[in-house]
Amino acid sequence: MKSVIVAYYIVVSYYFITVKNRIDKEFEGISPVPDAYWDQNSGWVETIANYLFLPFAAILIFIYFKWFTKTHSKKAKIFILIGLIPSSFLFMFFLILFSFAYGYRP
């Protein structure tokens, strides 16, 4: 299963880089950069962000659910739930960072 997940992310990353470079090359040397570029680029980054981060969110939820159901101690369950908070913040931070870095539209 791990190899399937790794292969999925390799394929999605390769496809993202290929199409992103194609979009950049299409509008290369045009100054000022037209709105069509920003629309196309932002739409592409939004699509890929969904392909990258939605499966990752599902994986995180699955992992935390398994941890939560396997433990029998109430104290351990509380720590798992508390640990979910910083994980959620990190997930949102990386999602926003990715979207802003690649899909920013001035």
**Segment 58-83, tens digit of pLDDT:** 999 999 999 999 999 999 999 999 99
pLDDT confidence of residue 11: 97
Cα separations (Å) of 47 from 41, 79, 84? 10, 34, 26
The span from the CA of 87 to the CA of 59, in Å, is 12
Which two three-digit tokens encode residue 57? 């969110």
- Residue 94 tokens read as 């990386």
CA atoms of 11 and 15, how far apart (whole Å): 6
Q: Which amino acid is at 71?
A: T
Mean pLDDT check: name the lowest of 8-12, 32-36, 68-72: 32-36
**Phi first, then psi: what are they for 19, rounded to 5°?**
-70, -40
pTM of the full structure: 0.82
Q: Which residue has the higher pLDDT, 62 or 1?
A: 62
CA distances from 71 to 22, 63, 80, 81, 86 (A): 49, 13, 9, 12, 20
Q: Where are the alpha helices (DSSP H) in the chain?
A: 2-26, 35-70, 74-103
